[in-house]
Copies of this chain bind each other. A is one copy, B any other.
Amino acid sequence: MVYPLLGLKQKAVVLLSGGLDSATALADARSQGFECYAISYDYGQRHRVELELAKEQAALQDVVKHITVQVDLRQIGGSALTADIDVPKDRNEDEMSHDIPITYVPARNTVFLSYALAWAEVLEANHIYIGVNALDYSGYPDCRPEFIAAFETMANLATKVGVEGAKMVIHTPLIDLTKAQIIELGLSKGVRYDMTSSCYDPAPNGKPCRHCDSCLLREKGFAMLGMTDPLVGKFYG
């Protein structure tokens, strides 16, 4: 987004996990003309390879600055993604869509967005991008549009930006898209999906398990476009 009279680019803080969705959200923010600042979170996730891929994506997509914040969720526990609980495998779509799964990290997006908000305030950025998705959302309450809207309202009361009359906007370009549509969007903007990781339980080198909810949804998305996931091609091809 460019101020028409000044020709100045506006800043956006983009949550970047190293996964398929956030890589696409970043590409979308760039294509809207924002100067992008990427923030990643080290929360003791078992899929740590995604932090490496977040760095790669930040470099590939030419962000102004990329930071990785240590987020201390292990003490709080309660999720298969951070605690010693098995990641569920080979669930069908009915199971995925009806239950809040054990991979749900309590209040994760609230914590992540709060850090993004703090950084946005320091940078004087009024825009935050997050690649949440309500359709393929795997049962997480904090991926729903009503959650995002409530966070935005709160953010405008929490910060100097709100007090001083500007407006903090939370952008969710993927919220209504299917996984296939997200992939199409990203491919149209040149996203390198071989340099992303979505698996909840990958091998240390990034090889996806192909059985967790996230792998299943991702492969299905590529299949609907008549494609093979380039990440699967890289490790299993």
- Residues of A in contact with B (beta carbons under 8 Å apart): 67, 69-73, 75-78, 100, 104-111, 113-115, 117-119, 121-122, 141-142, 144, 146-147, 150-151, 153-155, 157-160, 162-163
Q: Flag if B77 contacts A122 (CB, 8 Å).
A: yes
Check A150/B147 contact, CB under 8 A, given A78-B122, A118-B73.
Answer: no
Q: Are B114 and A142 in contact (CB under 8 A)?
A: no
Q: How far, in whole Å, are A106 and B69 apart by their CA atoms in the complex? A: 15
Report how many copies the assembly holds: 2
Closest beta carbon of chain B to A101's beta carbon, Å: 11
In the complex, which of the residues B75, B105, B158 contacts A107, with contact meaning CB atoms closer than 8 Å? B158
Residues of B within 8 A of A147 (CB): 154, 157-158
Known contacts A72-B70, A119-B76, A153-B153: does B114 contact A159 (CB below 8 Å)? no
Q: Are B157 and A141 in contact (CB under 8 A)?
A: yes
Chain B, Cβ-Cβ closest to A121: B106
Q: For residue A78, which residues in chain B have a CB less than 8 angstroms away from its CB?
A: 118, 121-122
Residue pair A141, B117 in contact (C-beta under 8 Å): no
Closest partner residue, chain B, to A73 (CB atom)? B118
Measured CB to CB, the nearest residue on chain B to A111 is B114
Which of A72, A114, A151 has the most chain B CB atoms inside 10 A of its CB?
A: A114
